[in-house]
A and B are shown apart, each in its own frame.
Chain A
Amino acid sequence: MIHAEFIAPAYGLTIAGLAGLLLVSWLRMRAAEAAAEKLRR
């Protein structure tokens, strides 16, 4: 693939950024909701 040195970092940053934010958001949501549920009981 021509210009792979430009395409690979563009896709790499996008995938890493999106996957990272998605994972962190999901983990933080699970932890926060588990803490709220524990306190409610």
Chain B
Amino acid sequence: MHRFANPARFLKIARVATPLLVVPGLLLTIAGLYIGLFASPPDYQQGDSVRIMYVHVPAAWLGSGGYLGLALASAAALIWRHPLASVAARAIALPGALFTAICLVSGSLWGKPTWGTYWVWDARLTSMLVLLFLYLGYLALSSAESEREDARGAAILSLVGVINLPIIKYSVEWWHTLHQGASITLTKSAIDPAMLLPLFLSLGGFTLLFGGIVLMRMRTELATTRVRVRNRRMAEAHA
């Protein structure tokens, strides 16, 4: 892992990997959303509102998975003090927050026709809202600490927030919730194969786009840092 943590080597790989993630990501997302909207069957109970699943479920998985990635990168930054790990954590936070927000809003829009309400303070919904606040807290704290080289507050906050991930996952089992339990596990699925196709296309597309956005944001921060360091050195040389 340390071999790839060299910024120059990382940039070389990232320049090749970015279009390889973004272009197929866009194609898969377009295919998934098109099939989800127009070519998949309505649910026998929920009717057409089930089509919201094709954006809601992948957004939920990426919101939670993104936070795990953020926490792992923060842990690597705290343990090995490698700046690339901090750059990765900061790059993950905004797309992670976006997917969590998409999950919450699309879930709310799905809730009205199926449950009769946009929102209930149910364990799954509340723990996802807490996840959004954790992302926003991390973004605010890392922005406030951006000038400090020994800053650790945002990384520590992200590690503390990991406790929320099993709460999100098991909330539907630990408490009586309005939100349904898992329809897909590693071994079985309660979803019709005609609905699984757009779901997995969207999931694949969103995941690739998430990766592409993270790489672009990392490249931006590395280039900005290079310019800032060069400008500082030039100012010191002229002083």
Q: Which residues of A are in contact with B by a Cβ distance under 8 Å?
A: 1-4, 6-7, 9-11, 13-15, 17-18, 21-22, 25-26, 28-29, 32-33, 35-36, 39
| Contact call B227/A7, Cβ cutoff below 8 A | no
Given A10-B56, A11-B55; A2-B109 close (CB under 8 Å):
no
Cross-interface CB contact of A9 among B59, B109, B227, cutoff 8 Å: B109
Give the A-B pair count, Cβ closer than 8 A.
92
Most buried by A among B29, B94, B219, B223: B223
Min Cβ gap B44→A in Å is 13
Q: Which residues of B are in contact with A by a Cβ distance under 8 Å?
A: 22, 29, 33, 37, 42, 47-49, 51-52, 55-56, 59, 94-95, 98, 101-102, 105-106, 109-110, 112-113, 206, 209, 212-213, 216-217, 219-221, 223-224, 226-227, 230-231
Min Cβ gap A7→B in Å is 5
| Contact call B102/A7, Cβ cutoff below 8 A | no
The docked-state distance in angstroms from the alpha carbon of A24 to that of B48 is: 33
Min Cβ gap A28→B in Å is 5
